[in-house]
Chain A
Amino acid sequence: MFRNVNELVQQAQDQNKKLYEIMIDQETELTEKSRKEVIVAMNKQFQVMKSSAAKGLEGVTSYSGMTGGDAKKMDEYIGRGQYMTDPTLLRAMSYAVSINEVNASMGLICASPTAGSSGVLPAVVLAVQEKLGMADEDAMLHLFTAGAFGFVIANNAFISGAAGGCQAEIGSASAMAAAAAVEMAGGTPHQAAHAMAMALKNMLGLTCDPLAGLVEVPCIKRNAAGASNAIIAAEMALAGVESKVPWDEVISAMYNIGLLMPASLRETSLAGLAATETGKMWKEKLL
């Protein structure tokens, strides 16, 4: 059993195992299920992630009617080939938007760690998988890598916007995705942990103030930001950049900031973007 990132990394190093193996071991021990059963269960989550990533690209509209269609625009933009950066980054952005648009349409998604942040991790894993030409059964295993870090964050801080703000949702998702990307690219457990810490640090202080309290604005686009931020942190970690603040201390900082955050900025739609003229207009219209 690992209780923090230090123990997780230590166990991987001592046993000379991938981080995902440490998570699989812990899960089989806890549930008394076989390794195969646990992997089959994760593959189910992976398949839901894949179909939700594809579905939004066709264009979906949210339950409230407030949002939709942006993933399709992104996909068409990528198709035209006139972009500034890199197709992996753009793919990740479009998948993140796609999945979160599907979520807002009350479509089927896999929470990772939450529904509001469900686009981030699959977007990064799928885009990196395409870039590396990795098979599904290999790519899917890295959801356990992400899950290991999410497990630590959830147990030592929080993962819901109502409890800790957006930093706890998209921030945690981005941190999990960064670690998974590093391990997919062949980085060490140590580098994955640094990527996790750097991604989370970049998201500290983010509030949860969506319009009309819906998981739409700014959540959908922020999934793209969380996915991009994960890639930034993963690339830095793979380059050998390290977080100055130790891994577990970053998680404590996120927790402390969440505790200090007023309730009005934790998914109550009482302040911030939700309290703008436009926010009030939508609230009036929808609730």
Chain B
Amino acid sequence: MKYRSVFDIIGPVMVGPSSSHTAGPVRIGQIARRLFNDQPERVVVRLYGSFAETYKGHASDVAVIGGILNYETDDPRIPDSLVTAMELGIDVTFIKEDAIPEHPNTMKITMTKGEDKLDLAAISIGGGVVRITELNGFPLKLSGENPAILVFHKDVYGVIAGVASNLAMNKINISGMNVSRIEKGDVALMTIETDQPISHNLINAITHMENILRVITLNE
């Protein structure tokens, strides 16, 4: 099921003009910001398909930057987000791409601050509902609607079971999960969406487990 809640259909409450091209990008920007967990110095947004053709008219540009500034979809400050970003010293670039994407509403965001860098690809599937489809080159499927942890780990046996049992011991139910890797035996990314929020202590415990390289959390 792509849509689960009645409020995916009757909602979101948002500033116009487009749920897929305005509210969707706000949500993508929000998730990107939460995954990066810091205010970036530089943001590059690549737009594909329908986004590339119509982003200015739909205010997708101010919307995605509004999301990166942590605004909600109904925040009246969205129309001024590009100016605000400039005032905060965030360097913003939009690039219109010609490549034809798998989904018509696709964007890629690169955020950097010093040495820190985050690359993600996302799609806006309609009604303000989005999916993150790629993180730092790893394919994934993340709605951003539930708490989640994204664990980069060595691609060896037992790591997934270890993380899962750690969650189970803390009575956290996994609602969705996927694992991807670019090369066998190298680095893998496990994405786990949960029904309950994941505590700071538990994240710490998982971070210090064997073969874990990096943990990113997405709590509501």
Interface residues, chain A, with chain B CB atoms under 8 Å away: 23, 26-27, 30-31, 38, 41-42, 44-45, 48, 62-64, 102-116, 118, 121, 143-144, 146-148, 150-151, 154-155, 158-163, 168, 176, 212-216, 263, 266-270, 286-287
**B8, A154: Cβ atoms closer than 8 Å:** yes
Given contacts A113-B127, A214-B57, contact A154 B15 (CB under 8 A): no
B67 close to A (CB within 8 Å): no
**B9, A150: Cβ atoms closer than 8 Å:** yes
**B127, A269: Cβ atoms closer than 8 Å:** no
Q: Which of B12, B15, B56, B105 has the most CB of A within 10 A?
A: B15
Contacts of A44 in B (CB 8 A): 13
Main DSSP-derived SS at the A contact region: helix
B10 close to A (CB within 8 Å): yes
**B16, A267: Cβ atoms closer than 8 Å:** no
CB contacts between A and B, total, < 8 Å: 180
Determine the distance from Cα of A115 to Cα of B15 in the docked complex, in whole angstroms. 9
Q: Which of A104, A115, A213 contacts B14 (CB 8 A)?
A: A115
**A109, B2: Cβ atoms closer than 8 Å:** no
Contacts of B9 in A (CB 8 A): 112-113, 146-147, 150-151, 154, 159, 176
Determine the distance from Cα of A102 to Cα of B76 in the docked complex, in whole angstroms. 13
**B54, A115: Cβ atoms closer than 8 Å:** no
Instruction: Sample 21 A-B pairs with CB under 8 A, ordered by A number.
Output: A27-B6, A45-B11, A48-B13, A106-B59, A108-B13, A108-B74, A112-B9, A112-B10, A114-B18, A115-B17, A115-B128, A143-B10, A162-B20, A162-B105, A163-B125, A176-B9, A213-B53, A214-B54, A263-B49, A268-B50, A287-B56
B161 close to A (CB within 8 Å): no
Contacts of B8 in A (CB 8 A): 151, 154
- Contacting A at CB under 8 A, from B103-145, are 104-105, 124-128
**B20, A160: Cβ atoms closer than 8 Å:** yes
| Beta-carbon nearest neighbor of B57 in chain A | A214
**A162, B10: Cβ atoms closer than 8 Å:** no
Interface membership of chain B positions 30-73, coded 1 if the CB is closer than 8 angstroms to chain A and 0 otherwise: 00000000000000000001100110111100000000000000
Q: Which of A62, A106, A116, A214 contacts B78 (CB 8 A)?
A: A106
Contacts of A267 in B (CB 8 A): 20-21, 50, 53-54, 104
Determine the distance from Cα of A113 to Cα of B19 in the docked complex, in whole angstroms. 9
| Beta-carbon nearest neighbor of B17 in chain A | A215
Contacts of B82 in A (CB 8 A): none
Given contacts A45-B13, A163-B125, contact A155 B2 (CB under 8 A): yes
**B19, A268: Cβ atoms closer than 8 Å:** no
| Beta-carbon nearest neighbor of A110 in chain B | B13
Contacts of A106 in B (CB 8 A): 15-17, 59, 78-79
